[in-house]
Structure 1
């Protein structure tokens, strides 16, 4: 059986859980409370030396880290990965962008405010500026397309980016300024059956 080690508060962990649920895969969830230091124990570090969640342990005992790598592994040969080479490349472009230009700002601001209890004035202004820039980039992309990678349906790019975008308000990002993003969140939640 697959074993998914994750912190239920983490969008990176939730997107893997959502994919497993959507695919109907049997798995066991192992809660790893990152605030309590669970990802820094010797047992966990033997699975994932980077000490990060999520970590998926396959049936044969191999461990795979990094949420988007796990998504690609799980969704191989599914409709969530385009067969068209250009659309697949655009999906990967968004997956890489999510971890470099979105998550480090939107998710970090959320973590600091919602989980560390920091006041808005304690959040670094650059973090908020970059988070708004990421949301604006998504808004611009969605002005011409229904889905981030283009094409006729959602891809892993949409699943990866909805995880933290849907809770961006918890980090102080008002999505009222991004109506295209708000509509896309609703479409993506419906497509991936996210509750």
Structure 2
């Protein structure tokens, strides 16, 4: 398999993390912001939606969107709950990650770390993203209080999906995770998994 991968992106990282946990091998084409590789990938149609990640299968088919890639790669594994309701709960968290979480947590990190986004980082917008993000982190912390994983009794795609941008919320996004002990314990559990690889590994 060939992964069109943006090294700094949490969406690409969640795919790399799942690949590591499943022991899968693959090649990568790195398409970081403001690079010729990104422009070429867009021009050649290698990224159907114009963004990474995209997984190119060995038979030539392409699969865009990080959470769709997670579902494809984890098919038949314990990372997708067998119980229909628990599986739907997993999908709920994954939809929430893209619809709510990423648009705040990831965006604040992008505005702080990508020079080409700096002009958009007005004090008002950064303050709004901080307040909104703290609310989202509290939702996760409240849910994780007294439980190890987001759904059921074991690690699922919901955890891998939400870990990607949450684990750098402090270092990249400027959030303070001290008020969220259950969330911090959950992050530590994922980082302690066998075969775990970090964002920069």
Q: CA deviation at 1:86?
A: 1.3
Q: Give the helix-richer structure, 1 or 2.
A: 1
1:34 aligns to what SS in structure 2? coil
Q: Conserved in 1, the CA contact under 8 Å of 2:17 and 2:197? A: yes
1:33 aligns to what SS in structure 2? coil
Q: CA deviation at 1:123?
A: 4.1
Bigger mean CA deviation after superposition, 100-109 or 21-30: 21-30
Q: CA deviation at 1:87?
A: 1.0
Q: How does 1:179-190 map to 2 (within 5 A)?
A: 179-190=181-192
Q: Conserved in 1, the CA contact under 8 Å of 2:137 and 2:180? A: yes
Q: CA deviation at 1:146?
A: 1.5
Q: CA deviation at 1:43?
A: 4.8
**Aligned residues between the structures:** 193
Q: CA deviation at 1:114?
A: 1.8
Select the structure with the greater relative contact order (CA < 8 A; seq sep ≥ 6).
2
Q: CA deviation at 1:144?
A: 3.8
Q: Conserved in 1, the CA contact under 8 Å of 2:112 and 2:173? A: yes
Q: Which runs of 5+ in 1 are unaligned?
A: none
2:178 aligns to what SS in structure 1? helix
Aligned to 2:76: 77
For the pair 1:34 / 2:33, whether they are aligned, the reply is yes
**Aligned CA-pair RMSD:** 2.0
| CA shift in 2, pair 1:96/1:123, >3 Å | same
2:55 aligns to what SS in structure 1? strand
Distance of 1:126 and 1:137 partners within structure 2: 17
For normalisation by structure 1, the TM-score amounts to 0.91
